[in-house]
Every structure is written in C-alpha cells, then in structure tokens.
Amino acid sequence: MQIALPDFDRMFGALADQTRRDIVRRAIDAEEGIAELAGHYPMSFAAVQKHVAILERAGLVTKQRIGRRKVVRTNLDGLRVARRLLDRYEELWRGRVDRMTELVAEGKGTDQ
C-alpha cells in the first residue's frame, strides 16, 4: 500500500496569498462563517468564497455547517504538515550555515 504524500505545491500555493493567510489566521477561532469573513475584505462574497475553496482543497481549512451558516475552521493538522516541511528545510539550511562557518574558521586558522 502506497502512502499519499501531501500536495505541498497546492498547500504553499494557497498560503502564498495574503488574504488566504489571513483567512487561515481568523479561522483558528472557528467563529466566523463565510459571510462574516467576507466583511473583513474589500472584495465580494464570491471572491472570499473562492479563497476559502482554495484553502479547503489545500487541506488548510474545513467548512462545517452550523444551522444555516458554514463556519470556516483552520485544519491544524494541515498547518502542522506545512510546518514540518519548513522545519526540515530550516534544519538543512542551519546545517549548511554551520558547515560554512566551520570552513571559514578553518580558513582563518591556516592564514596565520
């Protein structure tokens, strides 16, 4: 059985937009529906709905029907997946910077 890998391109593509990042931040509290979210932005309800759909396809938010409202909730598991990838990149680059620092220090020691 093959394990499906997260679609990082879709995830980070969704997060590349400032409005979508703000929606993810606001949806952590999970108190607003799409109509309430739309009130925060200088765009139409339909445009905000499209942003939410992109985030939903990327696995970063979910919509839950509560009565007549669709409440948008941040999918914390989706954010954790993105965070783990960024943490791996940070480790990689910190290791490279540390190695470059060592090489520079070794070079200075041989100049004397």
- Which carries the bigger pLDDT value, residue 41 or residue 103? 41
CB-based contact 58:78 (threshold 8 Å): yes
Question: Cα(64)–Cα(87) distance, rounded to whole angstroms?
Answer: 30
Q: Where are the chain's structural domains?
A: 8-110
User: Comparing C-alpha atoms, which of 80, 36, 75, 81 is closest to residue 56?
Assistant: 75
Q: Find the DSSP H helices in the chain.
A: 8-15, 18-27, 34-38, 45-57, 76-110
The pTM score is 0.78
Q: Name the range with the highest mean pLDDT among 2-6, 62-66, 107-111.
A: 62-66
According to the model, what pLDDT value does residue 23 have?
97
CATH number of 8-110: 1.10.10.10
Question: Cα(59)–Cα(40) distance, rounded to whole angstroms?
Answer: 22
Helix, strand or coil for residue 16? coil
pLDDT tens by residue, 2-43: 666 678 999 999 999 999 999 999 999 888 999 999 999 999
Residue-averaged pLDDT of the chain: 89
